[in-house]
Structure 1
Amino acid sequence: MALGDGIRRNIATVDPAERTLLRDAILKMNRTRWDGKRDDSAPGGVTWWFKQDEIHKATHVHGGPEFLPWHREVVNRFEDQLRVIDPRVSLHYWDWTQDPRSIPNANLGNSHSGSLNLFTPEFMGYGGQALKPIGQPFEDAGFYSPNANPFRSDNAFDPNNNPADPPRAVNRQVNGLPIKPARDQDVLAAEDYADMRETLEASHNEMHGFVFMGNSHISFRDPFVFLLHSNVDRLFALWQHQPGQPQRLDPEHVYGTMTGDPELNGNIEPWSTGQVNKVRPWGGPEQVGIPKTYKDLSVVIPRRYDTNPGVV
């Protein structure tokens, strides 16, 4: 595997040095800020990292046909920003059929393999059974600040929940069991997009309970959420690439019986206009949004995963 080849791989199979590069790129996202000031009418001065939480809180979609393509767009844009920081990194995934606390036969470096725990200060921080702050390396990087004042509330509907401010804590607990491989096979066996989406989202919801990162409005404050959602997108991509199903890579047919649903034929927000809560820079004074629907090829055609046909 070539570093920088743009292929998203099982995070347990890449070299430890590459896991470190991915971690460091995520940490650096909190050192670069978008334009504006925190007290602008449409808040500015938000870091590249905190923008992820602002986007998800303002516009995320669950329980409907947009769930998969909307989250594909958010992980693709996140990876693009990571690669501005370090073009060698890709947004690798956590295979949720493996327990992230003890992944067997993982790449430990120097041609050694063994059990890997993703929840250490060297990678994703705390991952115990009790709900506690994720700790290092993210506390020192400002992903949260116990003494922050002002601070971003855990209540997504709090009017003082300013995206430019850090939360006082990002809490996590890991308690449960991974998905059984047969559940992934059920996703791939689905004939229609609607059935596939429902089956895949059910697994997604269960894994958000296994690795608990807060409710749906605040889970994007936790960097591990991107490893989970990269796996969601991988399974969507693998379903699209099933043999004998070329229509699943066709914008006019990928969504099957849901093709005409209004939700899949509208613009993807906030990147189209930014008018949902005036998320900058797509809304607010910059107004740099470019309208794009869920049938845009950049959304329909998946990124490269190590499980896509022809990818090694």
Structure 2
Amino acid sequence: MPSARPRPIHDPRRDDCPWCGSRRLRTRLRSPDLRHRRPGTFVVDECQDCAHAFQNPRLTPEGLTLYEADGDRRLSRRRLRATARVMLPFPEPESWLDVGTGDASFPLAAKELFTYTAFDGLDPTPRVERARAAGRLDEAHVGRLTAPEVLARLRGRYDVVSMLHHLEHTRDPKEELAAALTALRPGGHLLLELPDPTSASAAVLGKWWHPYDQPRHLHLIPPANLRTELEARGCVVVATDRRTPHTPDDLATAVSLWLAHSPLRALTRPATAAAAALDHTLSPLLRRTRFSNAYRVIARKAP
């Protein structure tokens, strides 16, 4: 029997914006896989009407598996606690779902502030089950939130659903938002953090700006677009922040990536250390300017 044909790793290229449907697109970026040097060149297009940026053509699920990272960047316990702390002004949740939780570093940090909250985690990898076995989670769910069998189990169970640097990895962020709201109880809160494609760092650093992270980031959603979508789904946006979610690593990551692709690789460690020191020195200023590289939104589901 003839061997099965390999499944494509890209969807067909689209000529309209997946966010607003406009056909006024421009190419914003072309980039190889800078982190892992796997073959291929990837295109990020931008809608000239709503400014949504997206990989085009988009990787298929098989393509995402092929190019998936060996591990995501780890945020410090202090940074994760600071993110969890933003939910303290609201009623203490009985149940909290962290989507894309990985090894559950965020629920582990959040438990220090919300000692009476049950934390569940969802992730497409078995890491979430290992996190539950280690006592970091009360329940572990393997799969994707948009899968009907997963959403049927989680419908209306949670007071808080968090998606921290998750939406940019999803093939359909609008569908993902709808699923998150389905998992929330009426009056529950959705906590989101995302890279900010309107950051001035994106324009200055180009393909070396880490949040582009091709081919793993499929969508870069401007803050105004996300707010409009949430409000269209009946949510009330109760807080936004473009200052504290900033991660001071733009220069260090750009220098590290650039040197790794140049004949000056021997300079990577000292140059990256110097850039990291500059990142942290400038961070108190940059996080208050258009150079902030991330943003946070808290939205309440209609009661």
TM-score (ref. length: structure 1)? 0.24
Bigger RCO of structures 1 and 2 (CA < 8 A, at least 6 apart)? 1
Greater fraction of residues in strand: 2
